[in-house]
Amino acid sequence: MGQWAVIVPADRWATERLFEHETLAVTVPGAQPGDEVLLVAGAEPQAVAVGRVTAPGEVTYTRRAFDEPVPADDLKLTDEVSELDAEAFARVAGRIGAAARRKPWLVSVAMPIEAGSPAEAVRQFWSYVAELGPAELPTFVWPSGDELAMQAFVLGVEANQDPEEEDED
Transcribe 93-109 into DSSP letters: HTTS-PPPPP--EEEE-
pTM: 0.77
Per residue of the chain (169 residues), give pLDDT as tens: 899 999 999 888 888 888 888 999 999 999 999 999 999 998 889 999 999 999 999 999 999 999 889 999 888 888 899 999 999 999 999 999 887 788 898 989 888 899 999 999 999 999 999 998 888 888 899 999 898 988 988 888 888 877 676 555 4
Q: What is the pLDDT of residue 155?
A: 83
Distance, in Å, from the CA atom of 54 to the CA atom of 163, rounded to the nearest integer, reads 47
The CA–CA distances, whole Å, from 139 to 102, 142, 152, 162, 164 equal 19, 10, 6, 14, 19
Distance, in Å, from the CA atom of 156 to the CA atom of 66, rounded to the nearest integer, reads 10
Q: What is the pLDDT of residue 163?
A: 67
Q: What is the pLDDT of residue 54?
A: 95
Query: 78-91 in b/e burial notation, b at 16+ Cβ within 10 A?
Result: eeebbbbeeebbee
Q: What is the pLDDT of residue 167?
A: 52
The answer to whether the beta carbons of residues 70 and 96 sit under 8 Å apart is: yes
Distance, in Å, from the CA atom of 4 to the CA atom of 77, rounded to the nearest integer, reads 11
Task: Please name each of the domains of the chain with its CATH number.
Answer: 3-93 (3.10.590.10), 105-168 (no CATH)
Q: What is the pLDDT of residue 77?
A: 87
Which has the closest alpha carbon to 10: 41, 45, 40, 44? Answer: 41
Chain centroid to CA 14: 7
Query: Which residues sit opposite 53 in a β-bridge?
Result: 59
Query: 9-41 in b/e burial notation, b at 16+ Cβ within 10 A?
Result: eeeebbebbbeeeeebebebeebeeebbbbbbb
Q: What is the pLDDT of residue 165?
A: 65
